[in-house]
Amino acid sequence: MTEDERRLLRARARDELRPAVLGVVALGGALGAVARWALVGLFPETASAWAIFGVNLSGGLLMGVLMALVTDLPALPELTRPFLGVGVLGGYTTFSTYVADALDLPGAEALAYLVLTPVAALLAVAVGVRLARAALRR
């Protein structure tokens, strides 16, 4: 990496850590976490692992939609991506809980859950991108 590239990365990092960006990420994270808590609370405790699976799957789909929107609609407000992507969807999804929840599942189900969750979430991102781009073309 050249010195110019290092300077550019440092400048970008400073820009990303502006108070406005930090504020919208914190606010979005709180909103996303509350949404996840409320949604998971609708399910019995015995189904919490699969409720988290649904949260991570829907979060992946929404992240795909957001990715398409921020790349294809450059006129979106500058704080859209940090608020919705890092904040709301970062607080809404939870891959650390998914690993902890797998410990409570029986052997084969735990293995399926551990493999299926990230694969399904990544596929959901791809579906979200395609759906959003198809809608934008109309």
Question: Angle 95-102/48-72 helices, nearest 10 degrees?
Answer: 160
Contacts of 64 (CB under 8 A, 6+ apart): 124, 125, 126, 127, 128, 129, 130, 131, 132
DSSP structure string for 94-119: -HHHHHHHHTTS-HHHHHHHHHHHHH
Q: Any binding-site annotation on 93?
A: yes
Q: Any binding-site annotation on 90?
A: yes
Half-sphere exposure of 106 (CA within 13 A, CB side): 2
Instruction: Say how far apart CA 23 and CA 108 lie, in whole Å.
Output: 42
Binding residues: 90, 93
Binding residues for Na(+): 90, 93
